[in-house]
Amino acid sequence: MLREMIQALSGYVDFNRHKGEPGYKPAMPLNYPRPNYTTEAWQHHVQGIVKLAVLVDERCKIPSMLTLSSLGYALDEEARYAAKQVKFAPATKDGNPILYWQPIEVEFKLR
């Protein structure tokens, strides 16, 4: 797993170095599943954004995820679950799929 993460970070650095060049395209989310509120968060009127970084592999799967900012009240776990449901088009380099760290923000807003 560590080797995969290092390879992905290397790909991310390489990708950002060539950002905007025609041969490079980032991973693109195709859907945005709505996260579930926990009862405790709802009772405390918690709203905000959980920021995540997800590793999108060449098969558009998410083998790894990092939480960059947290809300508590078990909303981080709900955000991670929602992020796992996102479908992606892969990041590509010269038309070939590559590993890519994709930032994702999961918003919790009371309605």
Closest CA to 63 of 36, 27, 19, 100: 100
pLDDT over threshold 90, residue 78:
yes
What ranges do the domains of the chain cover? 2-108
DSSP, collapsed to helix, strand or coil, labels residue 106 as strand
State mean pLDDT over 12-23: 74
Region of poorest pLDDT, from 8-12, 32-36, 94-98? 8-12
The class of domain 2-108 in CATH terms is alpha beta
What span, in angstroms and rounded, lies between the C-alpha atoms of 14 and 110? 39
Do 107 and 53 form a contact (C-beta atoms < 8 A)?
Answer: no
Residue 12 neighbours by CB under 8 Å, 6+ apart: 99, 100, 101
pLDDT, tens digit (0-9, with 9 covering 90-100), for 26-49: 889 999 999 999 999 999 999 999
Q: Given pLDDT bands bounded at 50, 70 and 90, which one contains residue 105?
A: very high
User: For residue 52, with 0-12 CB atoms within 10 Å meaning exposed, 13-18 middle and 19 or more buried, which class applies?
Assistant: buried
DSSP string, 49-85: EEEEEEEE-TTS---EEEEEE---TTHHHHHHHHHHT
What pLDDT is stored for residue 88 in this prediction?
A: 95
pLDDT beyond 70 at 94: yes
Please compute the mean of the pLDDT values over residues 48-76 and round it to a whole number: 92
